[in-house]
Structure 1
Amino acid sequence: MKSKIEALFDDKEQRHTIINSVLALAIRVLGAFMAFIFNLIIARGLGAEQSGYFFLALAVAMLLSAVSRLGFDNTVLRFTSANAECGYTVKAILNFALKYVLPVASLFTLSTYYVAPWAAENIFNKPGLATSLQFIAPAIVGLSIVFLVAMSLQARHKLIASIPCQNIAHLMLCGAAVVVFSADSASTAALYLSLSLGVTSSFFYWLNIKNLNNNGEKPDPKKLWHSARPNWVIIIMSQAVQWSAPIIIGVFLVAEQVAFFSVAQRIALLTSFILMAVNLVVAPKFSAFHAKGDDVGIRKTALFSVRLLVLSALPIVLFMLLFPEFLMGLFGEEFRQGALILQILVLGQAVNVVTGSVGYLLMMSGHERDMRLVTLISGFGVLISVPVFTKLFGAVGAASATAFFVSLQNLLAVYFVKKRLGFNTLMFWQKI
């Protein structure tokens, strides 16, 4: 046993993966805890109806932000990873993406603001939602910036900054504002979130570009767009799988059902925060190995990371499956109604975890088009099935359809990893 552990740490890449994964996991635990506390503050502070409005408005903002980013998320990650030591190139890649993303995000912000009253009345049949949509509209710009800046930081292994940039700092600021100023409506919480994102996006952009060296050259715009175009479809469809269900529930059901589903979804996503932590470490490695033509390095890192994931996530999955009412009850007694929704969504996320970083494996190794096909299948599957299942079975039906297509997306990605890279991440016990 001791010799195996020593051999594990003798391997430079595995040692780097372990150390950085533990660091990323520690910060992700903090992020998951902050997200949990934020959702707790919103749910208990606003109540089921108002928190339903807030989570519905947030789902709309998240989806529109994903569209606004034009697929540059993983393009920034991939090309910055390959040029991490060239400060001029790092800055040029990020600024190139922002040059196109910000006008699109601003257009969506203005459109959302002016269309909100009509959409609240005619699409969602919830007039009280209008102000929340208007106040959360600026968050589309803020979310677009923090996601791209976080990818740039992640590519340079700046994990201590990358994770707070993406999903800790603005939640802390917004949650603190809701508590300090005793917000009691979804619209006020939405305004605080938009303001928080304005502050954090500006700060982390400055943090990312300061002290960069002048090495490197401008990236080839054609190569960036060649990567971004298929990535755009991937991001839109992936976000559709995650965020379309609350929106569809908001169209067909009352605001309280949106709140139950949204809280259950956010708890279920805690099962995959370990996957997100590992992704922060291995995604840049996959890109760097691919740039060097090191297929053995890609395989070893991928299989080793799946082992870490399975060992780490299994206890969390079991706890959520066994005690769903306890977890949902933390957000208020009425939220216990969402216990079954939570169990269903957890099963979908469990498949997500045990398949490993298959999405990043494909995208970082130049197989974006395979991942695009996978996300098209799962995305359209969700968009077609969730409205039908919601009409027939309510929020439980929406959860079932979502969990199924989350699982299908990852299993299809496993198939393409096997086809393109020659190994199966589900067989994580095989010799590395």
Structure 2
Amino acid sequence: MFSKIKAILSDVEHRHTAINAAIALAIRVFGAGMAFIFNLIIARQLGAEQAGYFFLSFAVAMLLSAVARLGFDNTVLRFTGASANNGLTVKSILLFALRYSLPFAVAIAMILYLAAPFIADVLFNKPLMTQSLKYIAPAIVGLSVVFIVAMSLQARQKLVASIPCQNIAHFFLCGAAVIVLNINTASLALLYLSLSLSLSASFFYWFAVKNLNTAGNTVSSREFWQSARPNWIIILMSQAVQWSAPIIIGVYLVAEQVAFFSVAQRIALLTSFILMAINLVVAPKFAAFKAKNDMEGIRKTALFSVRLLVLSAMPIVLFMLLLPEFLMGLFGEQFKQGAVILQILVLGQAVNVITGSVGFLLQMTGNERDMRLVTIISGCGVLVSVPLFTSLYGVIGAAAATAFFISLQNLLAVYFVKKRLGFNTLKFWQKI
């Protein structure tokens, strides 16, 4: 066994992937821990009802931020990954994306702020949510910036900055404010989250552009838009799969049910933090291999990364499936009602893990159209099935529909990887 591991790691690319994945995983573990603690703080400090308003408003902001980014996040990742050593190119790609997405984000934030009373009262039938929506509106701008900047940093293998930019710094700042100021309402917590995102976005943008060299050329806008358009649909549908369920639950059910689902969802997402860590390493590699037309390098890196995933993530999946009440109970006695929700969502995330980085495989190799089709199918499936199942079976129905379409999305992506790139990531045991 050790001789096989030694033989695999003798390959320079595999060794580089393993080492960088270990670094990314260490940071991701810290990030996942920070996100877990942040959600714990929100649930315990605010209580189930106010936490429900918080998570529901945050889900709205995340979905609208995906709209505002115009598909540039994964496009920035792809193009920067192919030209990571050319500072002028890196900077022009980042500025191009922000030049178009930022005004759009500001406009959407203003619309949400002005429409907050209507949305809270008419759409959600929760008048007390008005202030929460107003205070989360500025976060749409901050979220748009941190996601795009994080992708630029990720493409340059600056993982120590990329991960905190995306999901550590603002949670840390907001969580500290909630504790120190003893905040117990969703609206104030969301205000400090918006402020935290503003600080985080400003700092990491400065970090991303400082000390860049002058090598390379400015980006071709035509080529950039050609990649961004299908990526926009991909991002919107992917975000719909993840964030539309709590929003739909908020329409049909009380705020406490939103809180139970949101906490279960965030715990379930911990099963895929290893996938996210490995994606940080392999996505730029896929783009670089594609630029050199090295299809064998893509295949080997993809299969090797799935092996790492299966070995590291399955124990976490089993732990969550066996002890759901314990995990949910950490957020408060009321949250134990969400134990079954957690088990259902974990099964969906387990499929996400064992299929590997199939989404990035398609997007980084120029097959965005295939991934767009996959996400349209899964996104539309969620948007149709979650309202139906929520009205019939409550929050359990919403969880089942969400888990099913997360699984379907990844299995369809596996099919297109096999069709376009010639290998099946589910057969991770095959020789590499």
> Could you say which residue in structure 2 is the equivalent of 1:404?
404
Q: Distance in 1 between matches of 2:260 and 2:416?
A: 35
Which stretches of structure 1, 4 residues or more, deviate above 4 A after TM superposition? none
Query: Does residue 1:320 correspond to 2:281, yes or no?
Result: no
Query: Does residue 1:274 correspond to 2:274, yes or no?
Result: yes
Q: Deviations over 1:99-138 (max 9, x none)?
A: 0000110001000000001110000000010000000000
> Could you say which residue in structure 2 is the equivalent of 1:243?
243
> Could you say which residue in structure 1 is the equivalent of 2:65?
65
Query: Does residue 1:110 correspond to 2:110, yes or no?
Result: yes
> Could you say which residue in structure 1 is the equivalent of 2:4?
4
Q: Distance in 2 between matches of 1:390 and 1:95?
A: 42
> Could you say which residue in structure 2 is the equivalent of 1:284?
284
In the TM superposition, 1:71-90 aligns within 5 A as 71-90=71-90
How far off its partner does 1:7 sit?
1.6
Q: Distance in 1 between matches of 2:179 and 2:318?
A: 32
- AA in 1 matched with 2:175: G
- AA in 1 matched with 2:387: P
> Could you say which residue in structure 2 is the equivalent of 1:173?
173
Q: Distance in 1 between matches of 2:299 and 2:117?
A: 51
> Could you say which residue in structure 2 is the equivalent of 1:223?
223
> Could you say which residue in structure 2 is the equivalent of 1:127?
127
> Could you say which residue in structure 2 is the equivalent of 1:333?
333
Query: Does residue 1:306 correspond to 2:306, yes or no?
Result: yes
Q: Distance in 2 between matches of 1:9 and 1:372?
A: 34
> Could you say which residue in structure 2 is the equivalent of 1:388?
388
> Could you say which residue in structure 2 is the equivalent of 1:296?
296
How far off its partner does 1:6 sit?
2.4
Q: Helix, strand or coil: the match of 1:349?
A: helix
Q: Distance in 1 between matches of 2:5 and 2:376?
A: 42
> Could you say which residue in structure 2 is the equivalent of 1:419?
419
Q: Helix, strand or coil: the match of 2:394?
A: helix
> Could you say which residue in structure 2 is the equivalent of 1:376?
376
How far off its partner does 1:371 sit?
0.1
Query: Does residue 1:345 correspond to 2:349, yes or no?
Result: no
- AA in 2 matched with 1:361: L
Query: Does residue 1:145 correspond to 2:145, yes or no?
Result: yes
How far off its partner does 1:8 sit?
2.1
Q: Distance in 1 between matches of 2:389 and 2:404?
A: 12
Q: Distance in 1 between matches of 2:378 and 2:10?
A: 40
- AA in 1 matched with 2:245: A
How far off its partner does 1:3 sit?
2.5
> Could you say which residue in structure 2 is the equivalent of 1:21?
21
Q: Deviations over 1:388-410 (max 9, x none)?
A: 00000011000000000000000
How far off its partner does 1:362 sit?
0.2
Q: Distance in 2 between matches of 1:17 and 1:9?
A: 9
> Could you say which residue in structure 1 is the equivalent of 2:32?
32
In the TM superposition, 1:203-218 aligns within 5 A as 203-218=203-218
Q: Deviations over 1:2-30 (max 9, x none)?
A: 33232222100000000000000000000
Q: Distance in 2 between matches of 1:277 and 1:174?
A: 23
Q: Distance in 2 between matches of 1:270 and 1:129?
A: 28
Q: Distance in 1 between matches of 2:386 and 2:233?
A: 20
Q: Distance in 2 between matches of 1:308 and 1:10?
A: 16
Q: Deviations over 1:314-357 (max 9, x none)?
A: 00000000000000000000000000000000000000000000
Q: Distance in 2 between matches of 1:418 and 1:5?
A: 26
> Could you say which residue in structure 2 is the equivalent of 1:259?
259
- AA in 1 matched with 2:382: V
Q: Distance in 2 between matches of 1:291 and 1:177?
A: 45
Q: Distance in 2 between matches of 1:343 and 1:20?
A: 31
> Could you say which residue in structure 2 is the equivalent of 1:94?
94
Name the TM-score, length of structure 1 as normaliser: 1.00
- Unpaired runs of at least 5, structure 2: none
Query: Does residue 1:41 correspond to 2:41, yes or no?
Result: yes
Name the TM-score, length of structure 2 as normaliser: 1.00
Q: Distance in 2 between matches of 1:28 and 1:344?
A: 24
- Unpaired runs of at least 5, structure 1: none
Indicate the RMSD between aligned Cα atoms, in angstroms. Answer: 0.5
Q: Helix, strand or coil: the match of 1:213?
A: coil
How far off its partner does 1:414 sit?
0.2
Q: Distance in 2 between matches of 1:88 and 1:125?
A: 50
- AA in 1 matched with 2:10: D
